[in-house]
A and B are shown apart, each in its own frame.
Chain A
Amino acid sequence: MRRIVFLIVILAVGLAVDNPYRLQLLTIVGVNTMLTLGLNMLMGYAGQISLGHAAFYGIGAYTTAILTTHAQWPPLLALPAAVLLTAVVALVVGFPTLKLTGYYLGMGTLGFGMIVYILLREWSAVTGGASGLVGIPPLAVGGFTIRPGRDYFYLVWLMVMLLFIICERVVDSRVGRALRAIHDSEKAAAAMGIDTIRAKVSVFVLSAVFAALAGFLYAHLISFISPGSFDFMMSIRLVTMVVIGGMASIWGAVLGAFILTLLPEWLHVFADYEVIIYGSILMTVMIFLPQGLTRGVLDIYERSRHKFNSARSAASQG
């Protein structure tokens, strides 16, 4: 039922919005949602922080960009290559890093993110260095080209929906329970017979694959990429999206990506004060709704309903 509503909303928004700038913005919201959906599986459900998630996004985007420009591969062939390479990198990085916990895991993933960023910036011969790569071809399936605009918007949001369903299935499965158990206590999870390292690496690879997909779609949407889109700040922004939306909530990931992508656009009217207001909003949300927006808003609703009900029963008694 919720899926159908989701689908209808996507279709309606796609039909209602005509302005190409807005369509592009909403498409980017979709790309960011894919990123947060993956990171939310890792952070929200398995409880493992990653401060270098933009690296996987970058690897996905750069792999397809390099293959389609330098090597002239068709994008459809570059897609599996990008996903596979990112998955392998996640696997190699995941095994040693996910033995760490807490702050140390944060530091480890942070270091990884930095390394990838510097590699993208300095390996000019392949990546184009700081000025980036231009002329990434648009997506073409058979003879049909998906141009940025309404078609691309639909493509991205249908992918979001697909990933959304994957997340829902994982969360409700045996593996999803294991991830939540690990989040709660790794030792207790191990006593249940859960191979905790393996489970953590698996969800790490899953979230990296989501990021690679997002990177692929981003590269062919914008047709120009530079290292700045995949730096440390991007990783932090992704973590913020997950936390603001509400950890361990799939809808929270969608909401977080939505708000944090659109908020800077809305705040343009404040010109020089934009950053200050942006920061204040984040702080306010965290102070008053520490569980994130989804949980927080639901709690407020529950509380007010409770108050309303008790007020009504008091009135009827009086």
Chain B
Amino acid sequence: MAESSKAPHGAMLRIRNLKCYYGRIQAINGVSLSVRSGEIVTLIGANGAGKSTLMQAICGLLSQWEGEIRFRDKPLRGKKAPEIVREGVSLVPEGRWIFPPLSVMDNLRLGAYTRKARSERKSVAEDVEAMLELFPVLRERARQAAGTLSGGEQQMLAIGRALMSRPRLLLLDEPSMGLAPLMVRKILDTLAELREKGLTILLVEQNARAALQTADRGYVLENGRIVLDGPAADLLADQEVKRAYLGKDYREFTEGRV
């Protein structure tokens, strides 16, 4: 019984000793992490820690890397973005990358680009409907150019668009960037809701507190290395994390340095 309940909770994404390069510059120095099925895992770190690089390596948008990335026990090495999307990994990129001149509807439909079979037509239409249900603001603006949406609406659109490929694993790169706290809350609540429906999520954030409050587990990335990991609640309480990412004891920290 214990065995069979354990099986579906095996690692969905497993990264071992990942090293990423931009030409000669090494942005990731041997990162290992795993995301189990049904989990929300967050990866926190400052600007330039290598978070986005890691995300792009998983999605096949960055080809120069060493080490191992396995998704559902299959290695992702050598696979390009279209194939990885079809495998069930979808990215909500940093800065959203929506298509401003295209309508909200067209943006959503583009998310289902890999579902090209004629037989999928109906289910794609149903999913568009489901996204408009999930984010009612988008329904009001369905015919509008995506560039006319507010920042929060654009983030919703980016998430909806990523879900259109019916991913098993959703990667989000700084979804809270540039959003008001209320909107951040709303987005993170939506993620928790999606997890309840069975989605697995890897969330990259600079907004450490909000991310750790939503996540089950967390990793702290610094200068291309994982320096800390554990259950989200532990990380929230951790002195080091507090000092560096949660803005506590800021004075103590700077005075100690000077």
Q: Give chain A's interface residues, CB within 8 Å of chain B.
A: 174, 177-178, 180-181, 184-185, 187-195
Contacts and interface: CB of A to CB of B under 8 A. Distances in A.
B10 to A, nearest CB: 25
Looking at A180, A181, A192, the one whose CB has the most chain B CB atoms below 10 A away is A192
B110 A192 contact: yes
Interface in B92-143: 93, 97-102, 106, 109-111, 113-114, 116
Interface string B186-229: 00000000000000000000000000000000000000000000
Contacts of B86: 193
12 contacts: A177-B106, A178-B113, A180-B99, A181-B99, A185-B97, A188-B99, A191-B61, A192-B85, A192-B110, A192-B111, A193-B81, A194-B113
A187 B94 CA distance: 12
Given A180-B102, A185-B97, A188-B97, 9 more contacts: A174-B109, A174-B116, A184-B100, A184-B102, A189-B110, A191-B61, A192-B113, A192-B161, A192-B165
A57 to B, nearest CB: 30
Contacts, number: 59
A178 B86 CA distance: 16
Interface of B: 59, 61, 80-82, 84-86, 91, 93, 97-102, 106, 109-111, 113-114, 116, 161, 165
B93 A188 contact: yes
B82 A195 contact: yes
Contacts of B98: 188
Contacts of A188: 93, 97-99
Contacts of B101: 180, 184
Contacts of A191: 59, 61, 81, 91, 93, 97
The 3 closest A-B pairs by CB, nearest first: A193-B85, A188-B97, A193-B114
B110 A181 contact: yes
A187 B59 CA distance: 12
Nearest to A185: B97
Contacts of A181: 99, 102, 110
B106 A180 contact: yes
A190 B102 contact: no
B73 to A, nearest CB: 21
Nearest to B92: A191
Contact of B97 (A177, A180, A187): A187
Nearest to B93: A191
B110 A195 contact: no
B57 to A, nearest CB: 13
Contacts of A193: 81-82, 84-86, 113-114, 165
A193 B84 CA distance: 8
A272 B115 CA distance: 59
B13 to A, nearest CB: 17
Contacts of A184: 99-102
Contacts of B85: 192-193
A177 B91 contact: no
Given A180-B101, A192-B85, A192-B113, A187 B61 contact: yes
B61 A195 contact: no
Contacts of A180: 99, 101-102, 106
Contact of B82 (A174, A177, A187, A194): A194
Nearest to B114: A193
A297 B111 CA distance: 34
Contacts of A190: 61, 81-82
Contacts of A174: 109, 113, 116
A190 B110 CA distance: 11
